[in-house]
Amino acid sequence: MCGIVGIIGQRDAAPLLLDALKRLEYRGYDSAGLATVDAQGAMSRRRSAGKLRNLERRVETEPLVGGTGIGHTRWATHGAPNEANAHPHVAAPVAVVHNGIIENFRALRDRLAKSGATLTSETDSETIAHLMAQRLAAGEDVKTALLGTIGALEGAYALAFAFEGQPQLLAAARSGSPLAIGFGDDGVMIGSDAIALAPFCDKIIYLDDGDVAILTPTRVDIFDQSGTPVERPAVAVPVQISLAEKGNYRHFMAKEIHEQPEVIARTIGHYLDIGAATMRSDAVPIDFADYRRVSLTACGTAYYSGLVARHWFEHLARLPVDLDVASEFRYRAQNFPRDELSMFVSQSGETADTLASLRACRAAGQTIATIVNVPTSTMARETDIMLPTLAGPEIGVASTKAFTCQLATLAAVAIKAGLDRGTLDEASAREKIEALIEAPRLVADALHVEPQIERIAKIVAPARSALFIGRGPAYGIALEGALKLKELSYIHAEGYAAGELKHGPIALVDDSVPVVVVAPYDDLFAKTVSNMEEVAARGARIILITDARGADAAGEAAEETLVMPDAPSFIHPLVMTVPLQLLAYHAAITNGTDVDQPRNLAKSVTVE
């Protein structure tokens, strides 16, 4: 999603803004821009389509002066990703950058056009600059104009403003989309997240929904929607965040895949007493005996972790799980039974649909538990019970380590549910806990298949289409494998429940379609192998992902067999995910796509 930065400092703002924008590149974007105000109050703007290097070149040939400025990376929603639609948008004396969507923008554009404003872009964001400029022209001060402007907006926004003629002033506002203010040696800064601000600031303040802020070099005044001054706590920038570097890896994604043993161990250590092989009593402050159902809601990869977890809750705790993608959940006619726990899963903690679903459950009086990777995120702050994944900052747009940490967390929570509900006795719980403790080691072993996967990726990379199949917990993993391949390498890929193939998708199968079969040696193995035989009989090129026992029992249908370490079946989903991540990664490298920032994608999806 769009990235926002702003600074009031002593040095030229443009290089600092570009640096901070680079740290936001991971969010995904397709154009970028800057506006600065010099000491005399003159404002200048540079924008360009495409990557930040285009903007950098532009600024090299047409330098920007001034210590105050705002910058933006745009992920297009309204209008093509071209220069005219890039931010900042200017309606003198106002320049604005915006993350989010203004839902009533058509009505606003019509109103502005009638009042004589000339809009030069197709965006919803430009309306904000004009609304603000009209209020200032009418004699309102910046604070009053800002409150009036946001009062006219419907939708989600994080906003930063600079003002021609006011070299020492920035303003900001937030509703729905996150925004932080930082303090450092270079001045006062605004940023979409702590990652943008980390190298420049040691302390940051997160604005609350509805807040507006007026920034000068010496002070930051924050007001709530009604204009009442409010204090928001300053928090230290987490050290981890400043360490968000690629290290020796070519891509963040490769680093994050290889970090998995460590971050899974860290996450498990939060929930389990590893030495005693028991649950930590205070880590999951939920008594599942109080609930008869769980509703689990998330988007994308996080949703697939829920698909796997549904098996765990149902098998270990006999707890029915109502699972849905958040964009559907929020518009369903919900019953919100009192004995249902509402659970959400999100890496960023900012995904608009998941957040809206969480708020719907909150409004209905449900108890809310959220599995979240960013502890300072909106969901982390709005949940009743925060269940952290300790994956550390995930920079690659495609989720990898956050997913396996979500699985590890959900596995621990499901064991706790089984214990609470008396469906899992101490001995069986211990067996599951011991299996989970093995996960980091087995995931590390799984990474050893990388050289073989590099070769297999050459089979997959030229394909126009690929199928991924699995059963039981491996079904969710097959869907995740297909999502990873399509988002990274732009190969059309579908994940199916293995048993569903003959109900339609098998019509797609011929010798040009690789079929990736995820089949650990478990109770459903023989069923999945039968489905594999069916597609093999139609000429498909089979890539079988299994373990040693599975490889022995699978017959000859597979062209390639990836033998993963033998693992207790409870943690198969964690182990089986690794080769699928690596396959997508190497197929993307072979196809020459942008691994860390695939086209059209955004890291933190803060719009509906």
Could you write out the DSSP letters of every residue in 401-467? Answer: HHHHHHHHHHHHHHHHHHHHHTSS-HHHHHHHHHHHHHHHHHHHHHGGGHHHHHHHHHHHTT-SEEE
Q: Which residue is nearest to ligand F6R (CB)?
A: 300
- In which residue are the tokens 């205070």 written? 282
Of the candidate spans 285-293, 346-354, 433-441, 567-575, the one that interacts with ligand F6R by CB under 6 A turns out to be 346-354
Nearest to 98 by CA among 120, 68, 77, 67: 77
Residue 472, amino acid: G
Count the site residues for ligand F6R by CB under 6 A: 15
Q: Which of 2, 201, 299, 361 is catalytic?
A: 2
Angle formed by the axes of helices 426-446 and 572-591, nearest 10°: 20
- Rounded Cα distance, 266 and 440, in Å: 9
Cβ of residue 465: shortest distance to ligand F6R, in angstroms?
19
Query: Does 348 interact with ligand F6R (rule: CB under 6 A)?
Result: yes
- Residue 139 to residues 171, 212, 282: CA-CA distances in angstroms? 17, 19, 56
Reading the block at residue 507, the tokens are: 């019509």
Among 44, 73, 295, 354, binds ligand F6R (CB under 6 A): 354
Residues 436-475 as x/- pattern, contact with ligand F6R by CB under 6 A: ----------------------------------------
Contacting residue, 64, 368, 542, 605, with ligand F6R by CB under 6 A: 605
- Write out the DSSP string of 118-185: ---SS-STHHHHHHHHHHHHTT--HHHHHHHHHHT--EEEEEEEEETT-TT-EEEEEEBS--EEEEET
Q: Is 307 in the site for ligand F6R (CB under 6 A)?
A: no
398 binds ligand F6R (CB under 6 A): yes
Cβ nearer to ligand F6R, comparing 405 with 498: 405
Closest approach of ligand F6R to the CB of residue 373, in Å: 7
**Residue type, position 298, single letter:** A
**Any catalytic annotation for residue 502?**
no
**376 touches ligand F6R (CB under 6 A):** no
Q: How far is the CB of 137 from ligand F6R (least distance, A)?
A: 40
State the Cα–Cα distance between residues 440 and 214, nearest whole angstrom.
47
Q: Give the residue among 370, 386, 391 at the shortest CA–CA distance from 240.
A: 391
Q: How far is the CB of 378 from ligand F6R (least distance, A)?
A: 11
What's the Cα-to-Cα distance from 408 to each of 265, 440, 521, 575, 580, rounded to whole Å? 9, 10, 20, 11, 17
Query: Minimum distance between the CB of residue 196 and ligand F6R, rounded to whole angstroms?
Result: 17
Q: Which is nearer to ligand F6R, 9 or 349 (CB)?
A: 349
Q: Which amino acid is at 211?
A: D
Nearer to ligand F6R, 64 or 483 (CB): 483
For residue 299, state whether it binds ligand F6R (rule: CB under 6 A).
Answer: yes
Interface segment toward ligand F6R; rule CB under 6 A; list 48-56, 160-168, 299-307, 543-551:
299-307
The residues facing 364 across adjacent strands are: none
User: Looking at beta carbons only, is 1 or 545 nearer to ligand F6R?
Assistant: 1
Contact segment (CB under 6 A) with ligand F6R among 89-97, 162-170, 342-350, 499-507 equals 342-350
Burial class (CB in 10 A: 0-12, 13-18, 19+), 504: exposed
Active site annotation includes 51: no
DSSP 229: B
In the complex, minimum distance from the CB of residue 372 to ligand F6R, in angstroms, rounded to a whole number: 8
Q: Is 377 helix (H, G, I), strand (E, B) or coil?
A: coil
Nearer Cβ to ligand F6R (342/604): 604
**Any contact of residue 351 with ligand F6R (CB under 6 A)?**
yes
Rounded Cα–Cα distance for residues 545 and 519 (Å): 6
Q: Is 134 in the site for ligand F6R (CB under 6 A)?
A: no
| One residue of 167, 191, 300, 470 binding ligand F6R per CB under 6 A | 300
d(CA 398, CA 385): 26
Which run of H or E residues covers position 357?
helix 352-363
Mask of contacts with ligand F6R, 486-525, x by CB under 6 A? -x--------------------------------------
The residue (of 301 and 528) whose beta carbon lies closer to ligand F6R is 301
Which residue among 346, 528, 531, 581 contacts ligand F6R (CB under 6 A)? 346
**Which of 399, 489, 528, 546 touches ligand F6R (CB under 6 A)?**
399
Q: Is 192 in the site for ligand F6R (CB under 6 A)?
A: no
- Cβ contact 135:108 at 8 Å: no
* Cα-based torsion angle of the residue sequence 414, 416, 419, 423 in order, rounded to the nearest 10 degrees: -10
Task: Identify the active-site residue in 401, 484, 486, 603.
Answer: 603
Q: Does 256 sit near ligand F6R (CB under 6 A)?
A: no
Q: Which residues are catalytic?
A: 2, 603
| Residues making contact with ligand F6R (CB under 6 A) | 299-302, 346-348, 351, 354, 398-399, 483, 487, 604-605
